[in-house]
Amino acid sequence: MKPNNKRPSEAGQFLNNLESILADASPAGEELAESLREDGFDPGQLDNDLRELLKQHAPTWKQKAERERQAALKTLSKAKAALSRTRAETEQLIQSTVDAMQKLGAPATAGAYHQKFQTATDADLESLLEDLEAQYEALKAKKSNE
């Protein structure tokens, strides 16, 4: 198990325990809830707030992935369709990006698996170029950090 997956699980367990204590009708649970109310806290609200805090600071792998995906989506280029490039120009750019990546020492030519391939439309080539350029930038950044 990766270490970063352990923390949320332990924190989640803590919250579950806290929730069961607060929901517990035994004197200890009632006592704790009453004590919180006396101090001006709503036990239910406190539990919700703690869960929200946990989601932000110690998210599960799924919450973390979802949050990062949503943030990444905002970086996607939306204006590509409006480009007035010819297909041949796009193909040329793809080739030169692949060449540039190889010069940076990419261990293999960027490989693409297609499922149920029919034909590469102009839009397919544009998105391929966009993806290649993103990977080229990532490679460049990595090289400059080395």
Partner 1 sequence: MSSREEREWWPRLKARAIIKELKISHPSDISIEDIAWNQGAWVIDDGVSGCDARLLHTPGAGMARLRVRKNLSPPGKRRFAIAHELGHLALRHRPGQPSECSDKEFLRWYNGQSDKEVEANVFAAELIMPESLFEPRATSTRPSLETIELLASDFQTTLTATAIRYVQLCGRKCAVVCSANRRVDWCWPSPEFHYWIKRGQELRGNCYAIDFFEKGPHALEMREAQEVPRNVWVEGESVRDSISEQSRPLTSYGSVLTLLWIA
Q: Which residues bind partner 1 (CB under 8 A)?
A: 1-2, 5, 9, 61-62, 65-66, 68-69, 72-73, 76, 101, 106-121, 123-124, 126-128, 130-132, 134-136, 138-139, 142
CB of 27 to partner 1, least distance (A): 34
Task: Pick the closer one to partner 1 by CB: 55 or 135.
Answer: 135
Question: Pick from 126, 117, 139, 122: which is nearest to 94 by CA?
Answer: 126
**Closest CB to partner 1 among residues 33, 101:** 101
Q: Which helix (H) or strand (E) holds 69?
A: helix 61-73
Cβ distance 132 to 90 under 8 Å?
Answer: no
- How far is the C-alpha of 83 from the C-alpha of 10, rounded, in Å? 50
> Which residue shows structure tokens 């990006």?
97
| Closer of 34 and 68 to partner 1 (Cβ) | 68
